[in-house]
Structures are given as C-alpha cells and as structure tokens.
Amino acid sequence: MNKSEFAKALAARADLTGVQAQKVTEEFLGLLTESIAKGDRIAFLGFGTFSTAKRAARTGVNPRNPGQKVKIPARTVVKFTAGAPLKAAANTGKVAKKAAPAAKKAAPAAKKPAAKKPAARKPAAKKPAAKKK
C-alpha cells in the first residue's frame, strides 16, 4: 500500500473526503518526520514506537570487491519497535478487535453507619369494652 492508497482507505474508514484524508496523511507524516529529526521518541500504544539510535563508525567490506575494506561513518538511524498487538497481527494475519474501554471503578463510598431499625413496638393493650347500662 502506498501513501495515496493509504489516504483513500483512511477517507473511507473515517468518513473524510479524499482531499481531507490526503492532508491528514501528509500532516501526520510531516509531524512524525519533524519529531524524529529533533530526536524525540514517538510511542503509539498498541502500535509501536519510533525512536532514534546512534550507530558507531565501523569498517565494512565493499560488496563489489570483497578484498577492499571501507570505513562506514557514524550516523543516527531511525528505529521502529512494534507493539504486541501489531506483532500478533503480523503473525496471525488477524487484527485484534478493540476492547471496549474499561469502566472506571468508582471510589468506594465512605461507609455510612447502618441505619438502626426502630425498636419493635409492643402491641397496644386492648381496652375493655365499655359496659352497657
């Protein structure tokens, strides 16, 4: 998939126009490039992490003339470390469904003292019936 195909797929999924999706793709890649150029580490939870690393100078071999030694200068390289869900998707060919966000547990309410039950009333004493005269 190239950049324009990616933008088209993004437009279809995110309900954007092709122009909007192209602009989002360009801005995303531009921001990623600027951040890497500054030496920042960019981490996308569940996807992976972009970072930079220093490579020391070393001596290599010219592949066209294996007897010739070549000095390779020190440089900064871009590293990408895939996250666990991305690794799993690459190995199984299936994308894991997004889990529903876990509901935040409410802080336990301060326990209120149990309401006291009213004391059981004694049944009212029956009054003797009035005498007839």
pLDDT at 94: 81
**pLDDT tens readout for residues 67-116:** 999 999 999 999 999 999 999 999 988 877 665 555 566 555 555 556 66
pLDDT digits (tens, 9 = 90+) for 47-69: 999 999 999 999 999 999 999 99
Distance set, CA 73 to CA 46, 59, 85 (Å)? 35, 9, 36
pTM here is 0.61
Residue 29 CB contacts under 8 Å (≥ 6 apart), including other chains: 3
* pLDDT given at position 28: 94
Backbone φ, ψ for residue 56 (5° rounding): -75, 160
Token pair 């309401």: residue: 115
Identify the CATH assignment for 41-94 out of 4.10.520.10, 1.10.3720.10, 3.90.1150.10, 2.60.300.12: 4.10.520.10
Tell me the backbone φ, ψ of residue 18, rounded to 5 degrees.
-60, -40
Q: Domains of the chain: which residue ranges?
A: 1-40, 41-94
Residue 41: pLDDT over 70: yes
Work out the end-to-end distance of the chain between its first and last CA atoms, rounded to an integer number of angstroms. 111
